[in-house]
Amino acid sequence: MNNIIKQRVLKQRYLNSYLVELNNLFTIDISENNLQSLEFTQKHIEIIHQMNRALIYTESLPFSQREQLREILINNNFLLEKPYYFWSILSDSCGLLAVPSMECFNWSFNYDKDKNGIIVFFDTSFGKEVVIDFYDEREKQIIKIELWGLE
- Output the pLDDT for position 115: 58
Instruction: State the Cα angle at 16 between 1 and 81, rounded to 5°.
Output: 110
- Output the pLDDT for position 29: 95
DSSP string, 11-37: HHHHHHHHHHHHHHHBSS---GGGBPP
DSSP string, 90-120: THHHH-PEEES-GGGB-TT--GGG-SS-EEE
- Are the C-beta atoms of residues 130 and 149 closer than 8 Å to each other? no
State pLDDT tens for residues 84-126.
999 999 998 899 999 999 999 999 888 776 656 899 999 998 8
State pLDDT tens for residues 2-56.
666 677 677 788 899 999 999 999 999 999 999 999 889 989 999 888 888 899 9
Model pTM score: 0.88
